[in-house]
Amino acid sequence: MKGDNAAVGACDFFDWEVVFVPGWGLEAGLWAFVQATLMSMSGRNLRCMPIELGSTMSLTLTRGKTFRLVVGHSTGFMWLLQQRPFLWDGLIAVNGFTRFVSDKDFPHGVEKDLLQRMLSHFQQNPDAVVTAFLRRCGTRGQKSVPSQRLKILRQGLVWLRDWDARPAFVTESAPLLVLAGGADLIVPPAMTQACFCQRSDVKIVWQPAGGHLLPLSHPEWLAMHIWQFASQLCAAHAHTHTTRCAKHLESLT
């Protein structure tokens, strides 16, 4: 218990930020409840930064001064792995995956034809395609897609159809955590297991009642696990920093 308290307290000594990326058909506001809960758990040294899927925003990271954790939902996680648009110290997948379509060595994905049909229908009626997808995720109502988002949504369907981020997952050097829903209809448990089984050091934490929109259905649960993961990484970072300082002092005496 004492070790856990030390890990949680470690984040108080660093400026740290959490960058949130939504999945396909969703917007950065997906993370609002998670952010609010996380901010209530932490001090003034935390900054939450939601960005859109496919963002070209340049996020600089000053090593040794700011600790960055990146959280990607669904397609957002695969985009992070495949593109690596900026630096991070830790990575979390929420309802995430490393490959979406099936293949000979990946039978747990969806049929490629499904993505091709979605692409074809998207050209004619993007609102209907996004609405149908979000309803399958568990939301209600009609979705109206702003014209400025049409390009990235179409691109996202191409990514889902063509990308295989498993090699990037295997070689990713930063600590990783997977948070998954046991009742996820988009990324079922078997698909989650197949995506992340290549590395024994990556832990999958399950929310048994969670579907594909964990940030909306279980924001407190997500915030707790994000906070715990960040605290462990901060503690490890603090230990490394203390060891380096001690060795430096020894070299001066």
pLDDT in tens, 102-161: 999 999 999 999 999 999 999 999 999 999 999 999 888 778 899 999 999 999 999 999
Q: What string of H, E and C letters represents the secondary structure of 207-241? A: ECCCCCCHHHHCHHHHHHHHHHHHHHHHHHHHHHH
> How far from chain centre, in Å, is Cα 136?
20
Percent of the chain at pLDDT exceeding 70: 85
Does 13 have pLDDT greater than 90? no
Give 251's pLDDT tier (boundaries 50, 70, 90): low
What's the confidence (pLDDT) of residue 231? Answer: 87
Question: 174 in helix, strand or coil?
Answer: coil
Count the helix, strand and coil residues of the chain and give each as a percent rounded to the nearest 5.
Answer: 50, 15, 35
DSSP 179: E
Can you tell me the mean pLDDT for 59-86?
Answer: 86
pLDDT, mean of residues 172-191:
97
Q: Is 19 helix (H, G, I), strand (E, B) or coil?
A: strand
Number of structural domains (the chain) is: 1
**Please, which pLDDT band fits residue 63 given cuts at 50, 70 and 90?**
low
Instruction: Round to whole Å and give the CA distance between 132 and 139.
Output: 9
Q: Residue 40: which of 225, 218, 215, 227 has the closest Cα?
A: 227
pLDDT computed for residue 42 by the predictor: 76
**180, two tokens:** 């998954």
Type of residue at 205? V
Domain residues for the domain of 53 are 2-252
Q: How many CB atoms lie within 10 A of CB 147?
A: 7
**pTM: predicted TM-score of the whole model, two decimal places:** 0.89
The vertex-173 CA angle with 205 and 201, nearest 5°, equals 35
Domain containing residue 181: CATH number: 3.40.50.1820
Please report the pLDDT score of residue 3 as a whole number: 43
At residue 1 the predicted structure's pLDDT band, cuts being 50, 70 and 90, is very low
